[in-house]
Structure 1
């Protein structure tokens, strides 16, 4: 028993030492260094193109000098972090060896299959602990917080993608949506859902479900849930802006400026009209000279519940944000008019009562550049949080408050990104 207690204390010390935040620190620094190097490359290119008798060259050289200084600081921090991680490894290695030695000695006392039974019980306990962890991913997974009540701080970065795969449909259908229910039905805490716009890349009439991440990887779906018998027709789904919340799918109703609610259990459909909302490609998301078809009405989830993003002529084509009552009544609780022109952005998502908007930088990079705090009403347009894509267009982007991941549908690829708060 004394040896077991010693092993338990040593193991707990190792677990306390190796934290997710320490491992994530290096990735954040590497991302920052990557973008600083891109800026340096751009500034050097600008200096090379200048031909103005030296009037601006001094300024450009000063800018490059500043960039080099900041890159040097990042490298020093990376070196310090690397030394810290090496020290961590050197410290943990002998402790792990001690654990192994103790366990080997304990195994020698195995009599009457007791040790094997203990191993079996330990495996079962590990399974139970994993299930409990899944249920408790969020501090309060079934509690809706007031807008702006964010215990994590402001959004600092987005890292990833941490998972990437094609859907079982292959690359045939570039438009769709997917994710996990932030407020799942009992027994479906680990389920995933997928909606692919299989009709003209515009319409859908069923939801495909998966009972686990492994099932999603091997395309072993748990069944299709039919929304409408034909496609498209009244109450079928249009556009890639749907979300699952509290065992119901919320989406833009076919050919109307409405949000539909499809109950996954009762199969009933209710809707609410968005007054003056543009629809059917009137105010879609866009980049440069191209627009993302039928992205006029976009649903989002966060710690506060359910939201919808759209635009209206009354607000001069600028983004309108409304918070919805996620129930059968499906009424609008509150609305914010922004100064952000909807056709100038590529997507949006909500996190902790803050609306974030993205824009297309190039085929590899997307940038979160705008935020609206619904608590204060303050708008910002200078965030500059960039993340990598696997293809050009991000058709769908949504934040899940249970695991703090961004779920992305990117030209037939489904991806997840880690949101970093602080």
Structure 2
């Protein structure tokens, strides 16, 4: 076959991601253009794992969203995925670890791999509670479309048309919880993993190049839709169907001036196994969350004396508990989650002058000193770096 002398000939699909600038909040802003270029490189670097690392017949975990691949990961989650086939049988085994939640989700196609996502996408989701996996336990689970004849062990169904299996290692106490250590095997007879032909390599490179554009065409409307329906600084809760049916999201788009702050306030459900809140940029990327405190969860949150959660978004450290650092952005997205809770309160957002912030908080709100904040950040950096990310 004739091979072009320049690899750039196979990367022209990257321009589709740049074309999606038209769907950002400020298409003509040079800072937005640079953010989209960075986002494109993020997705392209991940796409190598998606297209070259494993196959359904030869499965293996690859990193998915995390502090590097930033297209809207939950900062509490480490995501991994493997390609699978719904007509094959797989065993996932290893140690459960002690993270707050371990969940498994199968679906037909991976977002970003096709121009039009199928609806429904064949989601089947189970977590450690559904499977009866105890913290720290060694286990083995069979995943297949039908339970194998005579098999009495742990089993989870996958859709007959499933193409991917996703895992979420969801941590509450980042520093002390231990992530799972898991393998995945295909139990059906398969041929050896083949050497790729030149045609197949070039095809996959072309698909890699299309991946960033497909991804943003799917993800931009999620945050844009919130802005269009309810505007800024208003939460619009949504319950997912299929995957993560136990989870209620509370997204919002935020905006404030540099001399202002936003106060998020909510009740907390009486039964709340897990909840969190995070900040995103205007292009639906999670903000830096290793070296910035741009997210929090129910373990780290400090409730007010009246039992309510109050968080403050401000460019500068306001010296109060539950600061959410927007990492230099004065507009972007907020995503919160109630997981398997007995209620789903809708938080509120108040836009106030930063100099008057304490007038809008309970009188007994404690002071967080610069030294205390620095130690909070040091613990966060250590904790996040010790988790598996790739």
TM range (shorter): under 0.3
Between Structure 1 and Structure 2, which shows a larger proportion of strand residues? 1
Q: How high is the TM-score relative to the length of structure 2? A: 0.26
Q: More relative contact order in 1 or in 2 (CA 8 Å, sep 6+)?
A: 2
Between Structure 1 and Structure 2, which shows a larger proportion of helix residues? 1
Q: How high is the TM-score relative to the length of structure 1? A: 0.25
Higher CA-based Rg:
1
